[in-house]
Amino acid sequence: MMRTRIIGTGSYLPERVVSNREVGASLGIEPATILRLTGIQERRRAAPSQATSDLAVEAARQALDAAGLSASELGGILLSTTSPDSTFPSTACHVQRMLGCSAIPAFDLAASCSGFLYGLSMADAMIRSGQVKACLVVAAEAKSRSIDPADGDTALLFGDGAGAVVVCGETDAGLLSSGLLGVRLHADGSQHGLITIPAGGSRRPTTTETVETGSHTLRMQGAPLFRLAVKRLDQAIREIVKEFGVDVQDIAQLVLHQANGRILDQLTKRLGVQPERVCSVIERYGNTSSASLPIALDHAVRSGRILPHDIVVLGSFGGGVTWATGLLRW
């Protein structure tokens, strides 16, 4: 019996720092107000020359280095993004090309902010079924390319970045062995309108009108999305720890999608977890969509907040709507 284990993490944030003063200037919002509403102090923006694949490759190289593997040893590349380089080819194929590994499967998946955990679940299935021995799961987003700077619901929140993990299969030595215990995925398409890019697809193809009306930019209903995210994640985290016989107080680190500082605060209180056990990088990087969870995980690992044999819970919520949780022993 195989168990999937994360053997390397990596992340990449573009150099350009965008302060609250900069994003708030055109909206007439003071920096301190933005921090209070979102928990964000600054976020990053990709350079004009950088595409999503460029961010992804940098995070992937870090993860491979941490894992002690070369790209040639990978059996597959799974890439989560809602801001691909282009409609096709897949951004994952660009990453494969830039890493220099040939003939292995490489493909994108789109589950909005839950995409990293959707990808991790797929990599776990591929490893346990014997299709691959090692796999790269990367989430990369250049969300700034689809943000309307005049829309306060989104312009204040989103940043660019990438996070990655390398996973491999190891023989399961029992309940106390390190590795992924489980990933649970969820979706509710009836709530699709809460966060969306209205135009640019087959339902509303690009026209002069859709461009003029800004229908190719991200639109979000912040208040109902906030309430639903807290409710669904609280429930899903409780379900997965119960399923595997883990008490909430046994969680060493809770690593969540960095959507909004207030969501993190609400979940911390509802779950009764001490704040120091909830990883937060949102103040520095903002909401990087599906990349935010692996970025936070990489920071937690590299800062020593996650140690061998720690119980770690992962959780995310995003457009679709989708949400997901993961439980692992480090």
Gyration radius (Cα) of the chain, Å: 19
Token pair for residue 176? 């106390």
Query: What's CA 80's distance to the chain center, in Å?
Result: 8
Q: State how far the Cα of 281 lies from the Cα of 285, in Å rounded to an integer.
A: 6
287 among known catalytic residues: yes
Q: Is 32 exposed, middle or buried (0-12, 13-18, 19+ CB in 10 A)?
A: exposed
Nearest CA among 59, 233, 196 for reference residue 139: 59
Residue type, 264: L
End-to-end CA distance of the chain: 18
Helix, strand, coil shares, percent, the chain, to 5: 40, 25, 35
Q: Which of 257, 260, 279, 299 is catalytic?
A: 257
* Contact by Cβ (8 Å): 138, 56: yes
113 among known catalytic residues: yes
Tokens 């220099």: give the residue.
Answer: 100
Q: Which of 113, 135, 168, 279 is catalytic?
A: 113
Q: Which of 20, 168, 279, 287 is catalytic?
A: 287
The residues assigned a catalytic role are: 113, 257, 287
